Every structure is written in structure tokens, then in C-alpha cells.
A and B are shown apart, each in its own frame.
Chain A
Amino acid sequence: MKNIRNFCIIAHIDHGKSTLADRLIQRCGGVAEREFRDQILDSMDIERERGITIKSNTISLDYRAKDGIEYQLNLIDTPGHVDFSHEVRRSLMSCEGALLVVDAAQGVEAQTLANLYLALEYDLEIVPVVNKIDLPSADVDGVLEEIQEDLGLDPFDAVQCSAKKGIGIDEVLEAVVTKLPPPKGDPEAPLQALIFDAQYDMYRGVVLLVRVKEGTIRTGQKARLMHTAKDYVIEEVGLRRIERVKRKSLEAGDVGYVIAGIKAVREIAIGDTITDSERPAAEALAGYKEAKPVVFSSMYPISSDDYPDLTKALDKLALNDAALTFEKDSSVALGFGFRCGFLGLLHLEVVQERLQREYGLSLLLSAPSVRYRMELVDGTEVSIDNPALYPDPTHIEQAYEPYIKASILMPERYIGAVMELCRDRRGEQTTFSYLAVGRVELTSELPLAEVLFDFYDRLKSLTQGYGSFDYEVLDRRPTDLVKVDILVNDEPVDALSQLVHRDKARGRALHYCERLADTIPRQQFKIKIQGVIGGKVIARSTINPYRKDVTAKCYGGDITRKRKLLEKQKAGKKKMMVVGSVEIPQSAFIAVLKSDAGS
């Protein structure tokens, strides 16, 4: 056990986490050169394309250190994005130490700080790694100073490297061996193994990624998941190399995989503890926390024929994504779909993209919403994340909306603009502190709903890309909520209804009206588009009718061609939503709703 090191790499996005992982794996011969590809631990296309990690992963490496001893290094790859912080937490719980990567040119960023705090919460030993020292713009001394000043870490512990160029990789590995502690635990104690993630394998079902804290887990053992209180027979255990390597058992201190005939990720709870059915541990490991969706949106297939396929695809996706929730939903305008819950906007985008890419589905998503809590006058309480279910306003005593605490790091010169942005987004308790000369950390308590609506894009553009953003969900606070409906020729378009703060209602409604006016093609009559609260019009736009729709030439005997064109148009017309006798093409919904997600 003293020759094992369990560690993870934490970093702000783009600071080189995956590249460093790649180099460590290559240096340890964890993968044959010809099988190597960049971002090797990220198996999904979308991870590789966007350079992000969504799922946790782990790999066991053999490393012969300078002291001549062969070490087993278990590298646990964690997602970097705030949407997936619950996954990060569980990964951290499986480690004794962490490499904290800081870009030598960018310095300490919001997620560097957020990740460090998280790691410290779990008592991890931290080794700072200054990466990208080969860049002309690298300021190693400046970054070392930040490591001391902003992070409170010893700059003399820091390892300098360039993962891209392969400089300093041995030093990083030596630091892992010498500076990070070995795991503790008793292989004879009652079994406690933390499930820190799970993957779905087409042939084997769910593959649990575990960290054995106490005891031993063996093939054939009868084991119980403590939270769900379900018993399973352990079919197989082993280490994760690039492929799975079977072993007879995993002992305290080991990180590896467990296969136990589990059909879907949904069946289990990530963060649960595996124990022995006959000799159970007294208590479960801390770590189980339900991943609660905070962002909700309805998904509709663009072609209603695809509805069964969407159902199947979501079921499949859920095998591997326990945080995704969905239930049947339907819209007058868009037909049958699903109301889905996500951990955040990135999670939403990832799910949408996977459905489109891996399952070939064309989807339309309604405006993302948070979950509001309403106290009704009759004393009951309801949670609403779907505008369609919004109660009669006269029945609502008080509505509450979720708030987050945003942490924004940026050069000092942008502070005015960003404070203004936070104010505009109904930020409270907005304060800032200097991290170093010229660099500030601004914190603000913002309604989550305000962050969903292109906040990040605005921040990026206001700070010319220098601002970084991180958040944690706080609590629910009283709010003055209204339901804005969009009417087309006096008929509501249910998919465009939304719950908004009263102060934002007019602006949002106007934005929708204008977008629709731009995207709905002219028709035979004047089209009136209105944004309303209850019966009160707060925004409007109109589309003038076209005055001409006729083919100029219709001579020569080729009537067939003209008729076929007309038949095609007639069929296309059938596919359009008709609201208030106005034909609304899918593209109008896409244009309106897309601008909402800030993309």
C-alpha cells in the first residue's frame, strides 16, 4: 500500500490538465505509442472536440521512481466544469493528493481557486505545477508569487513543466511519489469502497469506478450498496489501464473497477459505498449527494416521427448519466417531447449535442428555466420549472428562485463593467478583493436564472476573454416572478412561455417578439406578435403580409414540375406549427430559443 499513490489533476480550463495527463501516461508506458491519441482519458467525441472532461476516468500507471522502487500511480481524471462539481468532489475523495496545474502565462484563475478550495476540503496534499513554461508569454516568477499569495501554497514545492513539450515530466512524477502520501486503510477491516463514477459498457452493463477505503473486495463476493440497500454478486474486479485488467481482488488503498451485473447507472447512486453483505461496515462513507438538476428545458424532436427514437436515446444516455432527468412533456406548438433536468448549461449542451451527434436526432429545446418554489395562499408549496405548470398568479403567496454565488477573477481594469453586469443581472452582495496587484476576485450573489441567459458570453466579451467564472448554488430567495406568454395573432405559443423576474419581463418579451418578426416568413395576412403578462401587452411586433406569391412563368407543357414544387411546399407547410392560423417554421423557434442559451 505504501507504493500506491492516488492522485488527480485539477486546473482551470485550458491550463493543460489533459495534456499533462497524456504525458504522464506516456512516460509510464501506460499506453503503446501507436495507440496513443491526445486527451486519451476523454473517450467521448464531445470531450475531445471541446477539450473538456465530462466524465471521470481513471488509469493505473506503473512508475519506477529514482529510489528504485516500482510505484502504482492511480491517476483519477476529473471534470473541470462547475456543472460537474459533484463528480469532482467524489473524485477528490478517492485521492490522497492533487496536482494543481497553473498556466505559466495565465496565472491563477477562478477555477484554480475553486478547485483548490475543494481539494483542501478533502484534506488532499497539493503539489502546484506550473505548466506551459515554454511559452514566450510565460511569467513563471509571477505565477510562483500568485501561488504563494493567492493560493497560500509553498512556491518551493512547485514543479515547473511544459506538458506540451514534454519538459519536466519526470519531476512531476517524482513529486507525486515523494510529496503525496500513500493511502491508509486496513485490508482486513469491513469493506468500504466508494463508487466515484460509473460507466456503461454495452456488454457488461455498468462498470463502477471505485476507491477501496477499507477492507477488500473480491470476485464472487456478495456485496451491498449501502445507500440503495441492494445486494449484488461481484462478477469482476480489476485495475483500469487503457483496457480493464482483471484482478482477484482490490484492497484498501486501491483504485479500480467493479462489475456486478448492474444494468443501468440509474439503478445505483454515484457516491454510494459498497460493503460486504455479510460483514457490513458500520457506516457508509460520506460522499453520497444526489446530483440535483438546476436547469430545465423541454426537448422536442423536430420531426414528430423521431419521438420514439428520442425516447430510446434518452434511456440509453441515462445509462451513463445519472444526473440527467427526464419526463414526458407535450406542447401544443411542438408536440410530444421531454422535460429534462440538467446540472447546468454545459450539461444541457452536452446532452443535446450527444443526442444529435450520437443518435442523429434534430431537436428543439425550449428556453431553459430554473426551478422556482411557490408558496400558495392555501398554505401548500409547489416547485415549478415548467412555465406550462405555472399556477394562477392570484393563488401564489410568494415565489422563490435559486441563487448562486459567483466568483469572477479578472484584471482590475474590467471591474466597473463587470459590476455593472452583475447589477444588471440583479446581483446582490457584490464585492471584490485584490488577489494581487492588478487582479481582483469579484463575488456576487446572483439569481441562477440571470446566469442562464448569456451571462457567460457577456462576461467574456466585457473582459475581452480575461474574466473567468465559477459558481456554487446557494439558496432560494423571494422573487417577484411573472409568466410572460408570447402570442401570435392572439394565440399563445406555449413553447415560448417563460417565467421571468418582473423587471426583466419587458426586455425579454421584446427580444422574443423581434426575433420572431425576423424569422417568421411573411404570410397572406398581417401577423401580430405580442408579449403579454396575463392579459397585459408588454411588447409587440408585426409582420406585414406579402402581396405576391405566384410563379411568374407557367407556360410550356411542363406543369408537372410546377405542381411538384407546389406539392412540396404544401407538404412543408404541414410540418410547420400553425398558431393562430400563422405558420411558424421550426427555424423561427430555433432562432428564438437559441439566442436564449447564449450561443
Chain B
Amino acid sequence: MSISPGLYLHVPFCSAICPYCDFAVTTGGEKRRERFTRSLIREIARDHGPWKAFDTVYLGGGTPSGLGDERLGRILEAVREALTIGDGATSAVVSIEANPEDVTEASARVWSRLGIDRLSLGVQSFDAAELKFLGRRHDPVEARRAVEIGLGAGFVVSMDLIYGLPHQSPESWQSNLEIAVDLEPHHVSCYQLTVERGTPFAKQSRQGDWAEPDDDSLAEFLYLTHEFLGAAGYPAYEVSNFARAPETQCAHNRKYWEGASYLGLGPSAHSFDGRSRWWNQRSEAVWQLKVEAGRSPEAGRERLSDRELALERLMLGLRTPTGVDLGALGLDPSDLLAANRELFERFTRENLLRIDGDRLIPSLDGMARADALARSIEF
């Protein structure tokens, strides 16, 4: 586990809003993007107290790749001016989320020069009909080319894929995975399509335009994903994340799953210092007004109790094959094991997890039921 915190920068702009997305996103013209950039630079330059050095930087969104290379440059320059990136010995991993249509030989060269070394590509699918359904603006050819350009330019390349689309067959999902591994990226994230409240998909699904696959099919997709990618040399290091090698795992996202600290800047960005979590105004306009007035754009904050911290550790740890260190929960591991003896016996019997010293290590079956396991454990 890395000791230094991660830095997250949220860029809320997209050229169009995908019908499944419930993140803090907006379309918006050049003027707004320019004003946003200036505000973000201002927020970066604020006094962040003890937050000085970071070993990961993650540009997420939204679509940071669509903000414009010049603006990205100014933002990263501001980061380097105000904060320490990397610890001197090793340089930080700087990631950017990019849409395939934004990836060109030219932009790749610029991003490389800006010190960005990891591309997270919103591929989602290699099937034209599926891409259309998802409201994406690229086609399968652009998706492949983006991966190839990224790899050619020396980036660590990751791609996001979505499964569990209505009418998607396991075969069609598998062919997506086949194309993905044929391109030999370093990393793949596979997310189940989740219909979030308030999105166009929620409405369509409610109206009966289409139905989400049932639980059994979704389970089948999940198992297929793990088996296929595992066999292809991409073992899972989190229930939805697969990497060819430990070095190409997403170091920044691991901070979220491992309870490390992170500072989030930009609208809706969350920060966590190991005890408290706080988050910025979700609305870009409100966030901006606060920043421009020289005030903190913080919208809310919570101090986690020991129990809340422990629940998060369990909930997140059980999503990973390394599991949870019960000794790191702030609770007495033997008490916890005693209180849940029967439960753990059943989980062990059913091969959902095994207990290795003070560590709970979930099997794939266990990871697939991580939420249920976390709910069941009493402490």
C-alpha cells in the first residue's frame, strides 16, 4: 500500500451526456471550459494544509481528454507548481480518462509531454450497435485505433468495458473481451451496466423500453469475465479490474479500495484523510462561485466512526482477492472472528472465503457476493 496520498482532479465536461451516466457532468462550450480551467487552477493553488506531496494524479470526469490540450497543460503545470508530484525518487503516475475519439497521434504526443503516463480509455464496447445503445460517440474502429495509438506512444493503457446490456449474449460479451485482449492493453476494467436513478436509462427501463438482464445472467457475465481475462493473463485485482502485471494496476484507484488518503479538487470531488471525508459542491456553477470568491468549495464533510471505517474496509477489501486485514479494522480481530464464528464457518464451507491468520480472503464466489458478505458480518 502506498503511503503518499493521491490527487484527483474532476473535469465535468463531456461533448454529450451518456444515458447511463450519473456523475457530475455537463456539456458546455469553450467559454465555460476556460472559466472552469481558471477556477480549477485557483482551487489547486489554495492552501491545502498538510496535503503537499502526491504519488498519483488522476484526471477524471467527465471527459478530461476533451478539455483541450492547452488547458490540460495549464492545469498540470499549476499542480506541479503548488504541489509535489512524486517523491523525487520515483515519479508519480499521472492518469487521464480519455474518450477514444479524442485520442490522436498528436494529442498522445502532447499528453506524454505533459507527464501523463497512463490512459484510461472509455471504450465500453467493440460492437457498433452496443456503442449506439450506450450513446457513445465513437465507433469500434476508433476504439481500436485509440488503444493502438496509446500503446504506441508508450502509455500504460487501460480500457473500460461495460457488460450486462439488454439483449447482450454471453457470446457477444466474450467477443468484446477477445478483441480487448488481442489489442494487448495493460489493464481492463469491466463494469456491469448499472441503471442509476435519474438517468435517461432509468426512465427507459421504467417505461419498459428494455429490460435489464436478470441476476443469473449477470452472474454469468461476471464469472465469464473473470475466467476469460484470468486465462488471458489478466488476473483480477478487484472485482471489476484486471491487470497484466502488478505494476500496471491502477495505483490511484487502489487508494480508494485500500483506505489510503486522497485529495479531490473540482466539482463533486471527494477527499479522504484516513478519518474524515469531505466533498466539493457538485454543481459546477456553485463550486466555481465559491472558488472565485476565494472560499472553500466544500459542500459537506463527515468524520467516520471506527465502525464506519471498519465497514468501509470490509466492503472494499472483500472486493479484492487480497481481502481484508482484520487487524487493520481498528477492532480486535479475535473478537470479530468469535462474534462471526458461525457465519465464517458457513462462508468457509461454501468456499466464499478463507481465513488466513487475521486476513479474510474472498474467493471469486466471495468477491461476486462482496456486498452480501460485508452486510452479514457483525461487529
Chain A residues near B (Cβ < 8 Å) = 522-525, 546-560, 562-563, 566-567, 569-570, 573, 581
Contact = CB atoms under 8 A, between A and B. Distances in A.
B279 interface: yes
A553 B194 contact: yes
B269 interface: yes
A562 B302 CA distance: 14
B219 A546 contact: yes
B23 interface: yes
Given A550-B367, A551-B371, A552-B164, 12 more contacts: A525-B350, A546-B215, A546-B219, A546-B369, A550-B371, A553-B194, A560-B277, A563-B308, A563-B311, A566-B311, A566-B374, A570-B311
A565 B219 CA distance: 21
B124 interface: no
Interface of B: 8, 23, 60, 164, 191-194, 215-216, 218-219, 222-223, 238-240, 253, 256-257, 262, 264, 268-272, 277, 279, 302, 308, 311-312, 315-316, 319, 346, 350, 352, 365, 367-372, 374-376
B194 A552 contact: yes
Contacts of B370: 549-550
A570 B256 contact: no
A547 to B, nearest CB: 4
A18 B100 CA distance: 74
B311 A555 contact: no
A342 B191 CA distance: 55
Contacts of A546: 215, 219, 369, 372
Pairs of residues from A and B, 3 with the lowest C-beta to C-beta distance, nearest first: A557-B270, A547-B219, A552-B192
Given A550-B370, A562-B315, A557 B272 contact: yes
A43 B29 CA distance: 65
A551 B195 CA distance: 12
Contacts, number: 106
A549 B316 contact: no
A558 B279 contact: yes
29 contacts: A524-B352, A524-B376, A525-B350, A546-B215, A547-B215, A547-B222, A547-B223, A547-B369, A548-B218, A549-B368, A549-B369, A550-B368, A550-B369, A551-B371, A552-B193, A552-B240, A554-B256, A555-B253, A555-B256, A557-B264, A557-B279, A558-B268, A559-B272, A560-B270, A560-B277, A563-B308, A566-B371, A569-B375, A581-B346
A557 B266 CA distance: 12
A252 to B, nearest CB: 69
B373 to A, nearest CB: 8
A548 B319 CA distance: 12
B375 A548 contact: no
B24 to A, nearest CB: 10
A560 to B, nearest CB: 5
**Most chain B CB neighbours (cut-off 10 Å) among A552, A556, A557, A560:** A557
A559 B372 contact: no
A440 to B, nearest CB: 47
B270 A553 contact: no
A523 B215 CA distance: 12
Contacts of A556: 8, 23, 60, 256, 270
Contact of B215 (A525, A548, A566, A567): A548
A562 B270 CA distance: 13
Nearest to B250: A555
A538 to B, nearest CB: 29
A574 to B, nearest CB: 10
Contact of A557 (B215, B239, B269, B350): B269
B253 A524 contact: no
B371 A549 contact: yes
B369 A524 contact: yes
Given A563-B315, A573-B375, A522 B277 contact: no
Given A559-B316, A560-B277, A550 B256 contact: no
Contacts of B316: 554, 559
Nearest to A558: B270
A560 B264 CA distance: 14
Contacts of A553: 191, 194, 240
B369 A567 contact: no
A551 B193 CA distance: 10
Nearest to B378: A570
Nearest to B368: A548
A391 to B, nearest CB: 34
A340 to B, nearest CB: 36
Nearest to A552: B192
B239 A550 contact: yes
A123 B296 CA distance: 89
A558 B264 CA distance: 10
A559 B277 contact: yes
A548 B262 contact: no
A559 B256 contact: yes
Contacts of B239: 550
A549 B60 contact: no
A183 to B, nearest CB: 66
B216 A557 contact: no
A561 B368 CA distance: 20
A348 to B, nearest CB: 37
A151 to B, nearest CB: 54
A551 B264 CA distance: 22
Contacts of A555: 253, 256
A569 B373 CA distance: 12
Contacts of B238: 554
Contacts of A554: 238, 240, 256-257, 316, 319
Contacts of B315: 562-563, 566
Contacts of B219: 546-548
B183 to A, nearest CB: 22
Nearest to B370: A550
A548 B369 contact: yes
A187 to B, nearest CB: 73
A558 B272 CA distance: 9
Nearest to A562: B315
B239, B350, B372, B376 — which one has the most chain A CB atoms within 10 A of its CB? B372
B312 A563 contact: yes
Contacts of A570: 311, 375
Contacts of A563: 308, 311-312, 315
Contacts of B367: 550
Contacts of B269: 557
A570 B379 CA distance: 12
| B23, B193, B264, B376 — most chain A CB neighbours (10 Å) | B376
Nearest to A521: B215
Nearest to A555: B253
A525 B342 CA distance: 14
Contacts of B194: 551-553
B279 to A, nearest CB: 7
A150 B371 CA distance: 69
A330 B8 CA distance: 55
Given A522-B215, A557-B262, A560-B302, A547 B371 contact: no
